[in-house]
Amino acid sequence: MDVIRHIVMWNLAGDSPEEKRHNIDLLRRSFHSLLGRIPGLRHLEIGVDHSGVDYACDVVLYSEFDSQAALDAYATHPEHLRVKAEIGAMRISRHQVDYAVQPG
């Protein structure tokens, strides 16, 4: 069975570097709170851009799911909906790619 990789990138609001860092930290804590709470979620990591190039996104979520069904269930899981509500107002833009890979 294929593993599904779910990658999401955001640009976040922040009128100052401190406010942007605060929003990044909130996003990171919110997503890390999902670990162990979502069936089929194998791996989750948050990366913060340090390149500083003008076309880079601020934050990336890299996650892996046992199956497409697990990713589909994640989309409507109450814990994921809680996180979406927590970070919703701070998102400026969002980009997503989902793809299947053979395990191993």
Residue 81, token pair as written in the block: 């909906």
The more confidently predicted of residues 5 and 52 is 5
Q: State yes or no: pLDDT of 98 exceeds 90.
A: yes
The percentage of residues in the chain with a pLDDT greater than 70, rounded to a whole number, is: 99
Domains of the chain, start order: 3-101 (3.30.70.100)
Give the C-alpha separation, 75 to 45, whole Å.
17
pLDDT recorded at residue 9: 98
pLDDT recorded at residue 1: 76
Q: Hunting for tokens 């791996």 — which residue is that?
A: 43
| Per-residue pLDDT tens digits for 32-45 | 999 999 999 999 99
